[in-house]
Amino acid sequence: MKQRILAVLLSSLLALSFVSCSETAADSEREAGAPSAEIVPGAAETEAEEETAVTDDVPEMEFGEDMNLLVSNISWATRNIIADEITGDLIGDSQFNMKMQMEERFHTAISETYTDDIWSTAYISRLVKAGDDSFPICFVLDLYAPGYANGGMVLSLEEVPNIDLSKPYWDQSLHPCVTIAGKTWFAFGCFDLSYYDLTHILTFNKGLTADLGLENPYDLVREGRWTVDAFEKAAVTAVMDVDGDGKMTIADSYGFTSVAKQILPCFWMSAGEESIAKDASDIPYLNVMNNECFLSIFERMFSIMWDNGVWCPNTEDQNFWSETVGMFGSGRALFSASTFYYLNEFRDVEVEFGIIPYPKFTEDQSGYHSRVEGGCKIAVIPVTNKKPENAGALLEAMACYGFNEIIPNYYEIALKRKNSRDEQSAEMLDLIFSTRSYDLGDTWWCNELRDGIFKPMFRDNNRDLASEIKKKSKLIDKTITKAISGLAG
């Protein structure tokens, strides 16, 4: 069963591409016969006949040396790549079993070394300059990815023997986002859960939805009618001065709860837009001011959240607002922003809730899109590695194992059974996983765009985007150009 589910999931990932919310892009996709990310009843049963596990093409090998993995200690995402003991936790035990299988298969011993030096490329840079090959594979914070490649610290994965990036256990929906000039230095493999954890979702209060006489969000999603208009129409009805003091405070009821920095990127990405896109040569560029769709989304979010009072304002600078669970659990929030990681916060909430993707911008948009936030781990192979074929073999084999074992357990048990409350939410998870996207302005250049421009603007209700971009666009362009200067020749 696990293989059947993942076969459907990853086959959809292979087929999906990023689509703008512009009419031209949507029309082009329909003309090309590209699949929509709508839910098609019965499609899973039709496509999921094959139960054979995916296999890798790594030959028989004996490493003859230990493999010590360097792992960035990222506290906000699933930390381990491997596990050192059986604990009874299904996911952790799968990671332990992966370690055991890899050690037996390649005649090696695998261990992890954690580093808190994650906020730059300095740690690996020092290792490379010293010719230190202690770590054949490093799992680093994605925000600094261009620096590793442009600094000549890591190998292009196309150069590494035994890695086949066309395989379904390398995330095909995110892969086009992390290439530069057609080359791949980093990839998201199914051995890691961090980029699953940082996938964004909406939760909705079922009881409040019924009390307000609203349409069932599940039906809206299934029928392709879950749009920003539908979100606004529902969210406005939940705005109420509960304590009757004549002013809206945290004690009152709102249509939506989130931290300021998450709102704009979640909605522009659900519309299929990117703040940094890539040109025909696969070179990143700023994609804001001449992008009518992006500007429309920007203006619409301020109108909905601020003018209509849908959002409960807060200045929290964390990834998740701590007040959300209390408000949501007491029926004072219709929708709340979350990720798969923060879905754990809702386990003890007594109200019945559902899980849905963020809405499309317009109903004629070809499909849904779900944001993967920056802050994930990415695997890199340092140039000091004297046996890259071993590193390639291990990554390939772990990714394949993760596809067959770790991700199904994470997906089926940790998410569907523990965190979602009904079969419809599980159905929504299928859709969300198959429509993930990754914006470089929300990841690699998050500090310059999402946190440097959009977060303070939304927090302070500053709508003068033209002025902010004018002040900072030259610096952003220069930063991008410098970051990839050695890669785009």
pLDDT per residue over 311-356, tens digit each?
999 887 777 767 888 888 888 999 999 998 888 777 777 888 999 9
pLDDT at 66 over 80: yes
In angstroms, rounded to a whole number, what is the distance separating the alpha carbons of residues 311 and 314? 9
pLDDT tens sequence across 153-196: 999 999 999 999 999 999 988 888 999 999 999 889 999 999 99
Query: Which three-class secondary structure state does DSSP give residue 261?
Result: helix
pLDDT at residue 218 greater than cutoff 90: yes
Residue 307 and residue 168 in contact, taking contact as beta carbons nearer than 8 Å: no
**Angle separating helix axes 423-433 and 2-15, nearest 10 degrees:** 40
At residue 84, the pLDDT reads 94
pLDDT at 401 over 90: yes
- The CA distances from residue 21 to 199, 362, 366, 425, in Å, are 20, 8, 8, 25
pLDDT of residue 489: 59
- pTM over cut 0.85: yes
Residue whose C-alpha is closest to residue 38's, from 457, 329, 365, 487? 365
Exposure letters 272-301 (e unless 16+ CB within 10 A, then b): bbbbbbbeeeebbebbbeebebbbbbbebb
The answer to whether 153 and 123 have CB atoms below 8 angstroms apart is no
Question: What is the structure's pLDDT at 321?
Answer: 67
Tell me which of 73-82, 404-413, 445-454 is least confident.
73-82
Question: In the predicted model, is pLDDT for residue 20 greater than 80?
Answer: no
CATH of domain 198-372+438-474: 3.40.190.10
DSSP reduced 3-state for 286: strand
Per-residue model confidence (pLDDT) at position 48: 43
Domain positions in the chain are: 198-372+438-474
Are 232 and 303 spatial neighbours (Cβ–Cβ below 8 Å)?
A: no
Rg (CA), the chain: 22
Quote the pLDDT of residue 9: 45
- Identify whether the C-beta of residue 254 lies closer than 8 Å to the C-beta of residue 332: yes
pLDDT for 352: 87
The Cα angle at residue 449 between residues 154 and 307, in degrees rounded to 5 = 150
User: What is the C-alpha to C-alpha distance for residues 167 and 14, in angstroms, rounded to an integer?
Assistant: 9
Helix axes 260-270, 292-302, angle to 10 degrees: 140
Q: What's the confidence (pLDDT) of residue 419?
A: 62
- Mean pLDDT over 259-263 rounds to 94
Residue 411's pLDDT band, with cuts at 50, 70 and 90, is confident
* Whole-number average pLDDT of the chain: 87
Q: Please, what's the largest Cα pairwise distance for the chain?
A: 73
Query: 17 vs 223, which has greater pLDDT?
Result: 223
